[in-house]
Amino acid sequence: MSTLLEVSGVSVTFDGFRAINNLSFRIGPAEMRAIIGPNGAGKTTFMDIVTGKTKPDQGRIIWGEKSISLRGMSEARIAREGVGRKFQKPTVFEDQTVHENLLMALRNKRGPFAVLFYKPTAKDLARVEALAEEIGLHDALWRKSGELSHGQKQWLEIGMLLAQEPRLLLVDEPAAGMTPAEREHTTNILVEAAKTRAVVVVEHDMEFVRRLNCKVTVLHEGAVLAEGSLDHVTTNQNVIDVYLGR
């Protein structure tokens, strides 16, 4: 199986505290992966490193068929390479309509001049409609996103991620604060997405992870503790000691 993202030997230190310690991780181009781990295991820092928000002290981050290094690239550049990220808290542009939010996320030229003279094509508009349909916000298309419910904002953010057409989706606790029905919907969207691209989900909720039915990576103290199916890792003694057993 070919590799889309390979992280090897990455370490990062904050004021003497090793948040990530010699971490290695790889994921294929159309694969779903769940990352679990106790608080402070380095899950969010791992995402920060991949998306360029945090600069690692050492290690390699190799991306795509051409094996380019993501290390040292700006966040925007990495995003344009095809890495999309969803935050733990729903972050959408509350002052703008759902339509504007989606249009902004749509995969198009990102330079200031191109954007200044940008006029949405019929294809773009159709894509926005389709996405809105997919995330169940078609009726709310012209509402300000600040007026949406918490779950709707989560979906809008996922919709924006899909609009970016990333090759790798990094999703941080997508199901937090959702009703069971909403979770179901979210799971479907993510599973659907993973058919054509890589999806990495950071999640606490075991039930949700189980429903994703994918390979699981357990992080602990900034390093990979175990990897495999959910059943495999939950029987791992180390994992039980540090995480599940508590």
Partner 1 sequence: MKRLILAGLALLMTCTLALSQEAPMQDILQDHSALITKSSRMTIAPAIAAISDSGLTQAQDVLQAWQSKDIWQRKSDGLFFRAKETAEGSYILFDFDSGETLGEADKADLKQIKPNSGVRALIGSALVTFQLQDSDPARRLAALTSIERNPSSELLAPLRASIDTETDADLKAKKRRAERLLTIAYDSDESARVAAISDMSGDLGVDLRATLNPLLETRTEVFAGEAPEGLNLARRLAPGEDISTEAAYDLLVTAGLAPARIDQAEIRATLGTHISEQEVGGVALEDLNQPEARARAYAALVAQGLAEPDPTSAEIKAHLDAHQFVEIYNEPSRPVTLAASEALEDILLNVGMNQSLDLILDGLSLASIYFLAAIGLAITFGVMGVINMAHGEFIMMGAYTGYVIQQLIPNHTASILVAIPMAFVVTFAAGVAMERLVIRWLYNRPLETLLATFGISIALQQLAKNIFGTQALPLTSPEWLDGAWVLNDVVSISYIRIAIFILAISFLAIFLFIMRRTRLGLETRAVTQNPRMAASMGINPNRVNMLTFGLGSGIAGVAGVAIGLFAKVTSELGNDYIVQSFMTVVVGGVGNIWGTLAGAAMIGFLQKGIEWFNPSNTLAAQTFMIIFIIIFIQFRPRGIIALKGRAAGD
Partner 2 sequence: MKNSFLMRNPSTLIFLAALAIFTIMVTVLSEAFGLGLISTSFVKTLGKTLCLGLVAIAMDLVWGYAGILSLGHFAFFGLGGYMIGMWLMYERTRDIVISSMSDAPIPPTAEEITDAIGHQIFGVVGSSEFPLIWAFADSLVLQLVLVVLVPGVLAFVFGWLAFRSRVAGVYLSILTQAMTLALSLYLFQNDSGLRGNNGLSGLQNLPGLDAVAQDVVSIWFLWASALALGLGYLLAAWVVSGKFGSVIRGIRDDEARVRFLGYSVESYKLALFTVTACIAGIAGALYYPQAGIINPAEIAPIASIYLAVWVAIGGRGRLYGAVIGAGFVSLVSSWFTGGQAPDISLGFYTIKWVDWWLIVLGLSFVLVTLFAPKGIAGLFDLAGSRKWPNRHGADLGPDAGALREREANE
CA angle 93, 98, 100 (to 5 degrees): 75
- Residue 121: CB partners within 8 Å, gap ≥ 6? none
Q: Any contact of residue 71 with partner 2 (CB under 8 A)?
A: no
Residues 142-161 that bind partner 1 (CB under 8 A): none
Q: Which does 14 bind (CB under 5 to 8 A by kind): partner 1, partner 2, none?
A: partner 1
Q: Any contact of residue 14 with partner 1 (CB under 8 A)?
A: yes
Q: Which of 15, 65, 95, 231 is the binder for partner 1 (CB under 8 A)? A: 15
* Shortest distance in whole angstroms from residue 164 CB to partner 2: 6
Q: Which of 44, 152, 164, 217 is the binder for partner 2 (CB under 8 A)? A: 164
Q: Which does 15 bind (CB under 5 to 8 A by kind): partner 2, partner 1, none?
A: partner 1
- Residue 4: CB partners within 8 Å, gap ≥ 6? 27, 28, 29, 31, 63, 64, 167, 168, 198
- Span from 7-15, 128-136, 154-162, 225-233 in contact with partner 1 (CB under 8 A): 7-15
Q: Which of 21, 88, 187, 236 is the binder for partner 2 (CB under 8 A)? A: 88
Q: In what order do the strands lie in the sheet with 223-228?
A: 83-86, 168-172, 198-202, 32-36, 215-220, 223-228
Report which residue type is found at 128: V
* Shortest distance in whole angstroms from residue 75 CB to partner 1: 12
> CA-CA distance, 87 to 156, in Å (whole number)?
12
